[in-house]
Amino acid sequence: MPRFKPVHKGLKLLPVDFDRQIQPGSFEHALCHLVDKELDLAPFHARYNNDEVGASAYDPGVLLKIILLAYSRGIISSRKIEAACRENVLFIAVSGDSQPNFTTLAAFVSEMGELTAKLFAQVLTLCDRQGLIGREMFAIDGVKLPSNASKAKSGTRADFERQAEKMEKAAEKMLAKHRDADTAPANEGDKKRETRTLERLQRDAKQMRDWLKNNPEDRKGASGNVRLSNLTDNESAKMATGKGVIQGFTGVAAVDEKHQIVVKAQAHGTGSEQELLIPVVRRQVKPTPWRHEELTPWANDQEVT
C-alpha cells in the first residue's frame, strides 16, 4: 500500500511573517496600500484625545482594514470578525495581530457616520486618477429596501388627526369608567388592567400629537401629490414590491460601465425610481479638506442609461 507524507490540519506552532501573508495583486494587498498610503484618515484621528493621557486606542486605519476585509469575505457580524482576528492568519496579518474586541468593532462601525461619505469620495478620486471610471456610460438601477418602521403607522396628517382624536375619546371614556368603578367594590386585577390600557392610550395620543406638532405639513411627491408619512421613520415610504407592500427605502446605485465601480449609492424615501434618475445624474461630491476641487464622475452631456 502506498505511503504518503502526513497532512497536518490542526494546531501547529509556526514562525509567521505577517508581511509575506499579504500577496501582491490580491484584494488585501490593494486594501492595505489604499488605507496606509492613499486615504486621508485625519477626520478619524481628530476624534481621539489621548495624546498625553488615557489608554492607547486601536488605529482607525487597522479597524477599517479589518472591517473591509471581513465584508469582502461575507462576514458582517462583529463577533465573527473578532474571532477571525484571533484565528485567521490573513486577518491577523492585516490587523497586525491587534485582536480588537467585538464591541470596539461595533462602535467603530456605528460611529463612522458622515466619515463614510468622505472615504467614499476619496476612493472615487483615486479610481478616477487611475482611469478606472470611463466617463462615457453609467448604469443606474434601484432596489426596494425594507426599514424597521411599521407600515401600519403610515398615513397623512388627516389620518393621524383622526387617530389622535379617537384615542383621546377612548381615554376619556376609560377615565369615566374608572371613576365609576372607584365607587364599586374593588377588583384589583381589572383595575390594574384598565389602568395600563388608559396609560397606553394617553401615551400613544400624546406621541401622535407631538408628531403632528413637529411635522406641520404633509410630505409631497415629485408631482405635488400628498405622500404618506410615517410615525416611526418619516424618511421612509410605503411602497409596493414583488413580495407585497413594505415600509422602506429605494436604494439607487450608479455603476461605471468600464470597471463596474459604484460612483453613487443612496437610499431614498420614495417608491418611484423614475423620479430619482435626474438627482442621481446631477450628483456631485461636495469638496472635502483633502481636495478643494469638486469630483464630478460624469459631465451633463454624456450618455446615461
- Output the pLDDT for position 186: 58
- Output the pLDDT for position 184: 62
What are the helix (H) ranges across the chain? Answer: 18-21, 27-33, 42-45, 60-72, 78-87, 89-95, 102-111, 115-129, 157-182, 188-214, 277-281
pLDDT per position in the chain (305 positions), as tens?
A: 888 888 888 887 878 888 888 888 888 898 898 888 888 888 888 888 888 888 888 999 999 999 989 988 889 899 999 999 999 999 999 999 989 999 999 988 888 877 877 887 888 888 888 788 887 777 878 888 888 888 888 888 888 888 888 888 888 887 887 777 666 665 666 777 877 888 888 888 888 888 888 888 888 776 777 888 888 888 888 888 887 888 888 888 888 888 888 888 778 878 777 777 777 776 643 333 333 333 444 333 334 43
Q: 30 is written with which cell numbers?
A: 490593494
- Output the pLDDT for position 290: 34
Angle formed by the axes of helices 102-111 and 78-87, nearest 10° = 130
Domain boundary assignment for the chain: 18-48+55-112, 132-151+233-305, 157-217
* Beta pairing partners, 246: 239
